[in-house]
Structure 1
Amino acid sequence: MKCFYLIFTLLVIELAIAQVTPNSLFQNNMVLQRNQPIAVFGKAVSEKTVEIIFKNKLYSAKVKDGYWKVFLDESEAGGPFTLTIRGNNEIVIKNILVGEVWLCSGQSNMEMPVKGNKGQPINGSNLAILKSGNSKIRFFKVGRKTASKPLETCEGEWSLAIPSTVKDFSATAYFYGKLLQETLGVPIGLISSSWGGTPAEAWTPKEVLDTDLKEFTHWKTDMSLPQKLPSQLYNGMIHPLKPYTIKGVIWYQGEANKTYHQSYTKLFSSMIKSWRTKWNQGDFPFYFVQIAPLAWGGVDQAFLREKQLRTMLTVPKTGMAVTLDIGEEFCIHPAEKQKVGERLALWALAKDYGFEDIQFSGPVYKSIKVKEGKVTVEFDYAPNGVTNFGKEMSGFQVAGDDKIFHEAEVKITKGILEVWSKNVSNPIAVRYGWDAWINGSIFNTAGLPASSFRSDDWEE
C-alpha cells in the first residue's frame, strides 16, 4: 500500500510539473493586437508540441529548450473571443478582445495614477473616474521587479476599465487610451510598466550599454536602489513582455537623467532601437513626453529637454509631446495628465491611424533670420504661424558675438515671431525657455506648445 501511495504521489507531481504554461500576459480579459500576426508564447516542461485554438483555427507550436511560440493569423478588431492552449493540460482564456495594444513605460510621471498620489492631484480626476466604465479599455499593470538577468514572466493581471481599476492606473496612459478608443471605436489594451525615480539605463538591455554606450561610466551603482541600476528594469519588467504583439510604445521619463544629460540622446536612442530589435516587429512607433519645467534642478533640465528633442529629430517613427506650458514651478508631477495623454494620442492618430488633417506636434525650432537687429524665428509644425493665446511672452534671450545672452523683447505679427534686445545690436543666437522654469507661451494655432530651444551649439 505504501508503494502504491508513493507511485501515485510521484505521478501527481509529474503531472503537475509536466504542464504547458503561457506567458503571464495571456489571461482572461486580455487584448490582442489587430491586423498583425499575433504572438502566443510560453513554457512547456515535457511537451514536444503545443496546440493553440483561436477563432476556430488550430495552430501547432514546437517546443524548444522548454519554450514555445506561434504566430496566429492577423485578425480584425472585435470579440469577445476564446483562446485554448493544450499540452498535457488545457488552458482556456476567455473574454478576449482584439484591438490596439500599447506599452506604456517610464518613471513616476507615467506611474502616477488617475486618483493622484500623496497630495499631488490629477486635474479632472474625480469626473474621469466617475465616467470611466468602458469594457473596451483594458489594462495590464506590470508588477515592480528588478532582476540581474532577463526574466521570462512578470506579475500582473488584465482589468476592465471601471472606476475601481481606473483610479489606480497610470493617468497618462489612461487618458491616452481613452482618446484612442473614443476616436477609433476599437478595443484598447494598455500595458503599464513603470517605476518612479528610475533612469533610462535601468530600462536598457545590458549588451546595449556594454557596446553602444561603453564610453559612459557614470551609471549609478548604489546596490540599495536596484531599480536605478543598469538593465535591472529591462530584465524584470520589459523582457518578460516580449514578443507580445503591440502597436507601439508611449514613454514618460527623463527627470532621473538630467544631472548627466550629456549621454541621454545616445542612451535613449539606443534604448528605443533595442526594444524594437527585441520585439522583432520592425520600427514600431515610440512616442514620448518632454519633461516639464521645474524651478529646482537648474539649466540641466533645459539640456535634457534638448536631448529629448534631438531624439525625436533623429530616430525614425518617434514623436514628442511638449509640456512647456503645463509644468508646475515647485512640483515634479504636473497635474495636467489628461493634456499629456491626449497630446501623445494626437501623434498616434495622425501618424498611425490616418487622421492626416490634425496638428500633432507643437512648433519645433527650424532656423533664424537676422535683419536690422531683429531675429525672425522660423518653426516646423506651425503651418499657420505661431501665437501666444494672450499669454505674456517670456523666456527669450539673444546674444551677439560675445556669446553673452540678454533678456529679449518679443512680438508676433500675423504668426511671425520676432525677437530683439536693445543690448544686442547684432544678434547671432536666440534661446527660448533655456532655464529650469518657464511658463511656455508660444503655440501653433492648434494650441500645441513649442519646445524650448536654442539656435546655438555653444558649450556652457
Structure 2
Amino acid sequence: MRNKQQPLFLIVFLSILFVYSGTHAEVRLPRLISDGMVMQRDTKVNVWGWAAANEKVTVRFHDKVYTAEADAKGNWSVTLPAIKAGGPYTMRVEASNVIEIKNILIGDVWVCSGQSNMALPMERVKERYAEVIATAENPAIRHFFIATQYDFKNPFEDIPSGNWMSATPESVLKFSATAYFYARSLYEKYKVPIGLINASVGGSPAEAWLSADALKKFPEHLKEAERFKRDALVDSIQTTERSISRTWYNNIYKNDKGYQEQKKWYDSTYRDAHWPVMNIPGYWHDQGLKDLNGVVWFRKEFTVPATMVDKSVKLYLGCIVDSDSVYVNGKMVGTTGYRYPPRRYTIPEQVLKPGKNVIVIRVINNAGKGGFVEDKAYQITNGTETVDLRGAWKYQVGTVAQPLAPTTFMQYKPGGLFNAMISPLLRFPIKGVIWYQGESNTARADSYYAIFSTLIGDWRNHWRQGNFPFLYVQLSNYAPIALSESGWPALRDAQLKTLSVPNTGMAVTIDIGEWNDLHPLNKEDVGKRLALAAQHIAYGDKRVVYSGPIYQSKEIKGGKVVLYFTNTGSGLISKNNEPLKYFEVAGADRKFAQAQVKITGNTITVWSEQVKNPVVVRYAWMDNPQGANLYNKQGLPASPFMSE
C-alpha cells in the first residue's frame, strides 16, 4: 500500500515545488546595474529589475533603505534621490535572494553611439598611443560595451551581455578610442567619475537608431522597418546569402591554382621566376588586372639584419582589399577577413633566417578594386630597425570569379538598433550623448538633417530628461584631394545645420582625417574637441572657446562678400600664415570660382574677378580639403560651409 502511494506523494510534492518556485523567482537586475557601474550624479536615479509577482524588494544604498513591490508581471523599481559625485559604494538588493553590487561610483554617464569611428577601440590605435595606453590606470573612467544586436518587432528591456570595466593598460584596449580621450579630458578638468556606455555599430546608418515612433516621419524607412518584422523574410535572406557566400568561397578555394598545384605557392622553395611584377602598395586594377575579382598571390624576397634573426618581430601590411593570408618562409603568420583593419602581424621566433627570406600574400577580392591601400606602412620592424617591403613584388592570379553579391546587413535596417541597443538604456539616467556617425548616410545626404535632428529629439523624448547635451563629430576629410560634389560635403553641411537644435555641439575634424582611410587614427583630438563642446554645453563653462569658427551670415558690398562668424575666439587666423585656401564664390548661376580672401578682424571678405555679382560663398566644399586653414587663434578649425 505504501509503495503504491509513493508516486502520488512525489507528484504532489513536485507540483507544490513548481508553484513555489514560480511565485518566488529570484530578483534580477538589468546588466547596466552591476559591479563597477557609474550612476549619474545630481539627479534622481532609477534602480529597477524583475522578481516574482507581488514580491517585496528592498534596496539598501548610501545608508538608506528603499522598498518596492513587484507588479503582476514581476516588474519593480525604486527611485534614489540625487547624490553628489563620489564613491565607491555598495548596493544591496534583497528579496527571496540577495544581490550585492560593489564598487559603484557616482559621476557623469555618457552614451557613446554612432558607427565604426565611435566603435573603433584603443587596440586599433595602440601604436600611435602606446604611452597613453601604458599609463591608462584610472578607476574613475569606466566603459560598458554593448555588443551588436537588433530587433524589428519590440524594444528590448535588457541587453544580453556586457560589464563595466575600469580603465587600466589592459582593459583600455577595449574602450572606444574617441570616448576614452573624451572621458580623459573631462576627468582631468573636473575630477568627476565618467561612465561610458558604448552603443555603436560599424557601418550603421542614422535611421537604424530611430524608434518606431520616429520612423513614422520617414515613410520609406518605416516601410522597410515593417518589412523586416517578418521572420520568414529575414531567415530566407540570411539562408540564401550564407549559401551564396559559402559557395563563392568554396569555389575560389577549389579553383585557386596556388593551392591546387603540387607545390603550393606559399612554399618558400616555390620557383616564381616566370611571375610578372607589380608595384606594392597599389591596386591591381591600375596595374593591368582590370576588373578582376578572385584571388591574386604576391611574393617577395627580402633580407633582414642579423639582429632580427631568431627573434619575434612585427609585420605591418597597411590595409588590404578585401582579405588576406600571409606566409613568411612557408609559415602562416596572419590572416584578416575584411578590408578595414590594419594588418599588424607577429612573425614568431625561428621563422626569419639569415640570408634570403620569402613573404607570400594571398589576397581575395570579392568586388571592386583589390589590392594594397597606398600611403600606409608596409614593413618588418623590431622597434629599432626596419625592413621596407614596398616596391616590386612578383604576382600571379590564383583564380578569377564573378563579383560576390553584396550581403544584407540586417543591423542596418531602420529601427533595429534602437530597439535592441538604446531601448534597454532608457531608464538609466545620463549626462548626455556623444555621437560619431554619418559616413553611411553620405549617399543620401539631402535627408540627413531631417533624420539626425529627429534622432536627437527622439532620444530625448524617450529618456525623459529634457534637452540633455547631444555632442557629435562632423565628418573628417577623406578620399583623394580633388574638388567634389559628392555626398561628403553635403552631409557635413547637414551636420552644421543640426547646430540649430538646442543644446547640441559639434567637433569639427576637417583637418585630422586621412585621405586613404575611413578610420583616421587621430582619435585624441576628436575626443578633446568633443570635450571642449561638453565644457561649454554640458558643464556651463561659458568662457571656454569650444569650437572653431562657424559661419553665421553674409553681406554683399560692391561685388564682394563679407562673411561673419561665431566662435571666433581671440580672432580669425590663417594657419601657418599661408593664404586662405578653398574659398569659392558664385553668382546666381552657381558656377563657382576660386576666390581671393582677406581677413579683417573677425570677418572675411571674398571676391573673384570672374564673378561680378556674387551670391553664394562656400568653403572647403569637397571630400578632402586637405590643408584647409581657416582657424581661430585657439587652434580650432572652421567648419566647411555654403552660404545661402
Match of 1:271 among 455, 466, 477: 455
Q: CA deviation at 1:89?
A: 1.3
Q: CA deviation at 1:105?
A: 0.5
SS at match of 1:411: strand
Q: What is the percentage of aligned positions where both structures have the same residue?
A: 41
Q: CA deviation at 1:129?
A: 0.6
Contact 1:312 / 1:320 at 8 angstroms: preserved in 2?
A: yes
* Worse-superposed segment, 417-426 or 265-274: 417-426
2:167 corresponds in structure 1 to: 161
Please say if 1:338 is aligned against 2:524.
Answer: yes
The alpha-carbon distance between structure 1 residues 60 and 368, as it changes in their structure 2 partners (threshold 3 A), is same
Match of 1:316 among 502, 514, 518: 502
**Residues in 2 aligned to 1:379 and 1:123: alpha-carbon distance in whole angstroms:** 38
2:320 corresponds in structure 1 to: none
Contact 2:222 / 2:414 at 8 angstroms: preserved in 1?
A: no
Please say if 1:76 is aligned against 2:81.
Answer: no
**Residues in 2 aligned to 1:123 and 1:75: alpha-carbon distance in whole angstroms:** 40
Q: CA deviation at 1:298?
A: 4.9
Contact 1:122 / 1:337 at 8 angstroms: preserved in 2?
A: no
Please say if 1:133 is aligned against 2:137.
Answer: yes
Contact 1:401 / 1:428 at 8 angstroms: preserved in 2?
A: yes
AA partner of residue 430 (structure 2): I
SS at match of 1:84: strand
AA partner of residue 403 (structure 1): R
1:327 corresponds in structure 2 to: 513
Please say if 1:152 is aligned against 2:338.
Answer: no
Contact 1:123 / 1:338 at 8 angstroms: preserved in 2?
A: no
Contact 1:299 / 1:434 at 8 angstroms: preserved in 2?
A: no
1:238 corresponds in structure 2 to: 422
Match of 2:491 among 297, 300, 304: 304
Please say if 1:254 is aligned against 2:438.
Answer: yes
AA partner of residue 634 (structure 2): A
SS at match of 1:20: coil
Contact 1:385 / 1:416 at 8 angstroms: preserved in 2?
A: no
Please say if 1:86 is aligned against 2:272.
Answer: no
The alpha-carbon distance between structure 1 residues 444 and 14, as it changes in their structure 2 partners (threshold 3 A), is farther
After superposition, what is the alpha-carbon deviation per residue over 1:265-296, rounded to whole angstroms, capped at 9, x for unaligned?
11111111111111111111111111112226
Q: CA deviation at 1:412?
A: 2.5
Please say if 1:290 is aligned against 2:474.
Answer: yes
The alpha-carbon distance between structure 1 residues 13 and 79, as it changes in their structure 2 partners (threshold 3 A), is farther
**Residues in 1 aligned to 2:48 and 2:132: alpha-carbon distance in whole angstroms:** 35
Q: CA deviation at 1:383?
A: 4.1
1:25 corresponds in structure 2 to: 32
After superposition, what is the alpha-carbon deviation per residue over 1:307-364, rounded to whole angstroms, capped at 9, x for unaligned?
1111112x11111111111121121112111111111111111222232221012211
Q: CA deviation at 1:191?
A: 0.6
Q: CA deviation at 1:213?
A: 2.3
2:622 corresponds in structure 1 to: 435
SS at match of 2:53: coil
Contact 2:619 / 2:640 at 8 angstroms: preserved in 1?
A: yes
Q: CA deviation at 1:110?
A: 0.2
The alpha-carbon distance between structure 1 residues 83 and 351, as it changes in their structure 2 partners (threshold 3 A), is same
After superposition, what is the alpha-carbon deviation per residue over 1:164-201, rounded to whole angstroms, capped at 9, x for unaligned?
11112100100011111111112111111101000111
Match of 2:219 among 214, 218, 224: 214
The alpha-carbon distance between structure 1 residues 331 and 153, as it changes in their structure 2 partners (threshold 3 A), is same
Q: CA deviation at 1:376?
A: 2.1
* Worse-superposed segment, 68-77 or 14-23: 14-23
Q: CA deviation at 1:413?
A: 4.0
SS at match of 1:21: coil
Please say if 1:444 is aligned against 2:632.
Answer: yes
Contact 1:364 / 1:380 at 8 angstroms: preserved in 2?
A: yes
**Residues in 2 aligned to 1:88 and 1:54: alpha-carbon distance in whole angstroms:** 18
Aligned residues: 450
The alpha-carbon distance between structure 1 residues 179 and 5, as it changes in their structure 2 partners (threshold 3 A), is farther
SS at match of 2:17: helix
Instruction: Tell me the TM-score normalized by structure 2.
Output: 0.66
1:53 corresponds in structure 2 to: 60
Please say if 1:175 is aligned against 2:362.
Answer: no
Q: CA deviation at 1:203?
A: 0.7
**Residues in 2 aligned to 1:306 and 1:162: alpha-carbon distance in whole angstroms:** 38
Contact 2:584 / 2:593 at 8 angstroms: preserved in 1?
A: yes
**Residues in 2 aligned to 1:186 and 1:12: alpha-carbon distance in whole angstroms:** 48
2:47 corresponds in structure 1 to: 40
1:406 corresponds in structure 2 to: 593
Gaps of 5+ in 1: none
Contact 1:216 / 1:263 at 8 angstroms: preserved in 2?
A: no
SS at match of 1:251: strand
Contact 1:113 / 1:169 at 8 angstroms: preserved in 2?
A: yes
**Residues in 1 aligned to 2:597 and 2:194: alpha-carbon distance in whole angstroms:** 44
After superposition, what is the alpha-carbon deviation per residue over 1:4-29, rounded to whole angstroms, capped at 9, x for unaligned?
59836973895487121111101111
The alpha-carbon distance between structure 1 residues 407 and 233, as it changes in their structure 2 partners (threshold 3 A), is same
Match of 1:11 among 13, 17, 40: 17
AA partner of residue 384 (structure 1): S
The alpha-carbon distance between structure 1 residues 131 and 10, as it changes in their structure 2 partners (threshold 3 A), is farther
**Residues in 1 aligned to 2:612 and 2:127: alpha-carbon distance in whole angstroms:** 45
**Residues in 1 aligned to 2:595 and 2:430: alpha-carbon distance in whole angstroms:** 46
Matches within 5 A, 1:346-425: 346-390=532-576, 391=578, 393-425=580-612
1:202 corresponds in structure 2 to: 208
Gaps of 5+ in 2: 1-5, 229-233, 235-407
**Residues in 2 aligned to 1:445 and 1:234: alpha-carbon distance in whole angstroms:** 40
Contact 2:555 / 2:562 at 8 angstroms: preserved in 1?
A: yes
**Residues in 2 aligned to 1:372 and 1:286: alpha-carbon distance in whole angstroms:** 41
After superposition, what is the alpha-carbon deviation per residue over 1:240-265, rounded to whole angstroms, capped at 9, x for unaligned?
11110111111111111111122211
Please say if 1:191 is aligned against 2:191.
Answer: no
Please say if 1:96 is aligned against 2:96.
Answer: no
SS at match of 2:112: strand
